[in-house]
Amino acid sequence: MKEYAYAKINLALNVKSEREDGYHELEMIMAPINFYDELNIELSTEDSFNTNVPYLRFDEHNTIVKMINYVREKYNIDSKFSLDLIKHVPTRAGLAGGSADAATCLKILNRLCDLNLSEEEIKEACVAVGADVLFTYYNKPALVKGIGEELQFFEINCPFYILLVKPRKGVSTKLAFNKLDMNLCDHPDVEKVKEALENNEYYHLCESMANSLEQASFLIEPEIKDIKECLLADGFDASLMSGSGSTVFGITRNKSLWHSANTFYRNKGYFVRKCTLL
């Protein structure tokens, strides 16, 4: 049974405060993009995991393995699975690739094992595995709050082209939050970003987009800031780091710029992908 696991970008990310449990209270505008991994899971006589990327390990840290273990324990499933993952979305990129893989795994297991999960059970499983898993399960634009478990879906009526550019090094989300200075970072008004997307106020959107975690991630990997500045100098109307990085994206309504910049950054050796909102 095959499914696509769609990546996301953050069009705004506001870190509001640190919680007593060590997590941070967030407000985010998240949107799925037409860029994905491909996951196929079939019932089998023994567990097997195959992928096209040699660096990916299927151990207890892998989000797919976490989801399979959660479902087996929660619902007393003893079935074995043959799993094939074609990985396109890079890791440590701020694009929720691992979260999307876990969410897609849950979708497949729900059907493959006839679990008939309720909305509450889906939420419980997603939150247990990772912060962005619930969003990537539904793949709808949303205002996301808490640590990722509160979703307010809305419609985007503001088209534009997106260019993803990722530096060679990734960023640890944990390290980014550890280095975050709440007094120095940006604190975007996520409601304004949501309204701009709903009402096709493109230039208002460009002025309102910001990400609190850029302050910390720029310190960890200065090349992220360099790419952002280059995209703006190239003529993109706005540029932002997604999540905790290291991917930066530029948005434009100029299709020629979208194509030419893709070629330029690819020739410089970066991971680059042209995409649009899903």
As annotated, the active-site residues are 8, 132
Contact 10, 28 (CB under 8 A): yes
Joined together, the tokens standing for residue 155 give: 């419609």
**DSSP classification of residue 277:** B
How would you class 219 by CB atoms within 10 Å of its CB: exposed for 0-12, middle for 13-18, buried for 19 or more? middle
The closest alpha carbon to 88, from 39, 24, 121, belongs to: 39
Asked if residue 228 lies in contact with residue 256, where contact means CB atoms within 8 angstroms, the answer is no
Separation CA 140–CA 194 (nearest Å): 13
Separation CA 31–CA 9 (nearest Å):
6
Length reported for the chain:
278
The encoded tokens of residue 115 equal 């679990």
* Pairing of the two strands 80-86 and 24-44: antiparallel
Q: Dihedrals φ, ψ of 72, to 5°?
A: -60, -45
